[in-house]
Amino acid sequence: MNFDQKGILYAVAAYGIWGVFPLYWKLLIHVDSLEVLVSRVIWSFVFTVLFLILIKQRQLLMEDLKSLWKNKKLFVSLLGASFVISCNWFFYIYAVNNNHVVDASLGYYINPLITVVFGMIFFKEKLSKMQILAVVVAFIGVAFLTFGYGQVPWLALLIAFSFAIYSALKKQITLNATRGLAIETLFMLPIGIGYYIYIMLTNKASFLHVDWMTDILLMLGGIVTAIPLVFFAKGAKLLPQYVIGFIQYMTPTTVLILGILLYGEPFTKMDFISFSFIWLAIIIFTLSTIVESKKRLHYREQMVNDL
């Protein structure tokens, strides 16, 4: 098996797991979404740190923390990223456990396009004409949904924008994915523990108060969070960005199918029209990414030949 095939397996595993996340969070539908989020933060930190100790990267983790502390700009960026990804996790868990799985899928469909726009605004990245067209087509799809129902699809947009902001904040931070998750959850750990103390004292906690299955599911949320991230990190190292970009649409597609077929959420003609614009935008965007990648590859080969 060559590196590309391994990379594809890792990427498909990561996005496949993320795609079936609703199946897992639905098992915790009886638990308040905020408690699920806090539990996910705490146990993600615990299991990730244990994993780092197991693979003998504890020292590297300490070096990452020291490096971040010395560079206040990066420290603040990662602190902001930690807060934003926590918000993203909450929006997603809330969407799944409140019968808005289709909205969650819409959010992750349009996220890559918003990320591209952020790159243009904040990092002066130039968009090709096809990429600009993709963004415009996606905007038309969201506009159809907004006017069709008389309200903005806030949950989908919050999911999309929160992850795009997270990506923008982490763009300048080169951290190992697993150690990065440990540090991000470490930043949110005091808030998480404080919240758990509060709900324990006020008898509002589900953990240790419902049944053993709920306790196990809340704890395993940390492992469920870490595993696809490790797979993604391995896949991203072995594959070109445009391949990763194409495979990532497995997640919202799987989520959409689950929302409609398994959970019976409505998918009207207006939804279909709106999503059709989004899907068209994705096709245009993916094709443009492939074309641009091939152009860059051809340019590099030409430069090597000239030398």
Residue 224 has pLDDT above 60, yes or no: yes
Q: Is the pLDDT of residue 307 over 70?
A: no
Q: Which tokens is 100 given?
A: 């808005």
Residue 139's contacts (CB-CB under 8 Å, 6 or more residues apart) are none
The per-residue pLDDT of the chain, averaged, comes to 89
| pLDDT at residue 294 is higher than 80 | no
Least confidently predicted of 53-57, 73-77, 172-176, 225-229: 172-176
Please, where are the H alpha helices in the chain?
3-19, 21-26, 33-54, 58-70, 72-97, 101-122, 129-149, 154-170, 177-201, 212-238, 241-247, 250-257, 269-306
pLDDT digit string, tens, across residues 98-133 = 999 999 999 999 988 888 888 888 888 787 888 889
- In percent, the amount of the chain with pLDDT more than 90 equals 60
Residue 289, pLDDT above cutoff 60: yes
Tell whether the model's pLDDT for residue 82 goes beyond 80. Answer: yes
**pLDDT for residue 301 is more than 80:** no
Q: Would you state the torsion angle of the CA atoms of residues 178, 20, 266, 249, taken in this order, to the nearest 10 degrees? A: 60
Report yes or no on whether pTM surpasses 0.75.
yes
The pLDDT of residue 242: 66
Q: Is the pLDDT of residue 188 over 80?
A: yes
Q: Given this model, what pLDDT does residue 109 score?
A: 92
* 91 pLDDT more than 90: yes
Residue-level pLDDT at 303: 67
More confidently predicted of 124 and 277: 277
pLDDT digits 0-9 by tens, 247-258: 889 999 999 999
Distance in angstroms (rounded) separating the CA atoms of residues 97 and 11? 26
The per-residue pLDDT for range 143-152, each reduced to its tens digit, is 888 887 788 8
- Map out the domains of the chain as residue ranges: 3-306
Q: Which of 15-24, 184-193, 233-242 has the lowest mean pLDDT?
A: 233-242
The answer to whether residue 240 scores a pLDDT higher than 80 is no
* pLDDT-based confidence at residue 31 (cuts at 50, 70, 90): very high
Q: What per-residue string of b and e applies to 248-267 under the rule 16 or more CB within 10 Å gives b? A: bbbbbbbbbebbbeeeebee
CA 184/CA 187 separation, integer angstroms: 5
